Structure 1
Amino acid sequence: MCGRFAVTLPNDAMAQLFAARPANDLPAVPNYNVCPTNQVHVVRAGDGGRKLDALRWGFLPHWYKSETAGPLLINARAETLAEKPAFRAACRERRCLIVATGFYEWTKTEDGERLPWYIHRRDGAAIAFAGVWQDWGSDAARKGTCAIVTTAANKNLGSIHHRMPLILDPGDWALWLGEAGRGAATLMQPGPEDALVFHRVGRAVNSNRAKGPQLIEPDISV
């Protein structure tokens, strides 16, 4: 799964990287501790080309009467994406890219202590998570929401967690966004073993209120 991530790329650099028009209300960057229900950077395709938007991380199905009417859907399993009532329409019609620099995962000690790890691309490039989105609410208060698609972890990350976000290479962005026709289902599998690296970080990130670049620095006490 993916429950927290970091994004450090400037907004104009994100827009250039994804060849997308930036919205005026994009979240502030850098943010080393992006949490569920935060606004996140999302690339969507449309008739006028790609747009870089801000959406709520936490997918809200259309039948939710309030934002807390059901489970907080921050992740969507690739294996059941096309079948689950909450996601099946979005899987066909509303796919997106969610921009990150890296993400966090946790392991547990024998006494239950949570130990955080920071995971990022070996080459230092930005990460594009596969995502799905849904507009929710009445016309007067309509908001865009999204979830990150996850797969079984590859062997490399399996030592930390059994799930991982679906990460798309640049050559696959157009297919996931629907710009290159059908076939997005072929992308829903773990990425190459050597694409990501990880290191232990300090426990400060266990708090969703923690901020600052020190959150992604290696924990020298390990």
Structure 2
Amino acid sequence: MCGRFALTATPDQTAAFAGLAELEDFPARYNIAPTQPILTIIAGEPRAPGSNLPDRRAVLVRWGLIPAWVKDPKDFPLLINARSESAAEKASFKVAMRHRRVLIPASGFYEWRRSGSNQLQAYWVRPRRGGLVAFAGLMETWSEPGGSEIDTGAILTTSANADVAHVHDRMPIVIEPDSFSAWLDCRRREPRDVACMLRPAEEGLFEAIPVSDRVNKVANVGPDIQERFDAPVQPVVSRADSAKAARNVPDGQMSLF
């Protein structure tokens, strides 16, 4: 799954990557979490003849898709990810998969590996050569009983490639730039026409860097959460050594064993 990601490129860099004329200013975001607004790219109206830019526009959506048929979001799970293998058939995603496919620009994402001691080690997974990637996403507009509308979205995931598999068995789907237009074209391309894009990223695209658990807290939003952090290796103490140490504790000092 993908539970946190980052977008730290400038608006100009992001606009150039996504094929947009321009983007409003926005700050670098190092720790984007569920329910927060995320930048998405959707198909727009056809541009005037002679324009060399594709028909795309940027919108902000709430990360956590709410299908249009949901009556009360409080009684519905937070859908931040959608499994690509079943999205075209699953009730929560099939309408968006057919009509509202989007791109989600990102500088990378975070994932956690569970160790044998049941502890979690966080990793910052970023493009090995830097720059941006575009996650495959879905968008749905949910209408409140009062009439107001909320645009919501989810990230499509697939099985992890070799870059990520040692950390987690799932990863976001990455859409290559030469496939942006085809992915966004929901007028002429049905889910079966873009199914070939629902695959793990090319091996070698990402590198996974261990980071501290500061990323676990949504309040930590600075670039320091992406700094490499190699957790100290805890020495393995045998039962015999533990018993020996206990026997050698000076009088009046408590034993840790």
Check whether TM > 0.5: yes
Cα drift, residue 63 of structure 1:
2.0
- Local SS of the residue matching 1:82: coil
* Match among 29, 32, 43 for residue 31 of structure 1: 29
Runs (5+) with no aligned partner, structure 1? none
- Tell me if the contact between 2:163 and 2:208 (Cα under 8 Å) persists in the aligned partners: no
Q: Is the radius of gyration larger for structure 1 or structure 2?
A: 2
Q: How many residues align?
A: 220
Mapped to 2, the partners of 1:141 and 1:96 lie a distance apart of 22
Amino acid at match of 1:131: G
Aligned to 1:217: 227
Cα drift, residue 136 of structure 1:
0.7
Which stretch of structure 1 is more off in the superposition, 173-182 or 201-210? Answer: 173-182
Cα drift, residue 200 of structure 1:
0.2
Aligned to 1:13: 13
- Tell me if the contact between 1:58 and 1:147 (Cα under 8 Å) persists in the aligned partners: yes
Runs (5+) with no aligned partner, structure 2? 47-54, 233-257
Cα drift, residue 29 of structure 1:
2.1
Mapped to 1, the partners of 2:31 and 2:187 lie a distance apart of 33
Q: How does 1:175-194 map to 2 (within 5 A)?
A: 175-178=182-185, 181-182=188-189, 183-194=193-204
Aligned to 1:162: 169
Cα drift, residue 13 of structure 1:
2.7
Cα drift, residue 111 of structure 1:
2.5
- Tell me if the contact between 1:133 and 1:145 (Cα under 8 Å) persists in the aligned partners: yes
Mapped to 2, the partners of 1:66 and 1:32 lie a distance apart of 31
Pair 1:143-2:150 in alignment: yes
- % same residue: 35
Amino acid at match of 2:28: P
- Tell me if the contact between 2:98 and 2:186 (Cα under 8 Å) persists in the aligned partners: no
Amino acid at match of 2:226: I
- Please report the RMSD computed on the Cα atoms of aligned residues, expressed in angstroms: 1.9
Mapped to 1, the partners of 2:81 and 2:112 lie a distance apart of 16
Amino acid at match of 1:82: A
Mapped to 2, the partners of 1:197 and 1:172 lie a distance apart of 23
The change in CA–CA distance for 1:96 and 1:142 in structure 2 (over 3 A counts) is same
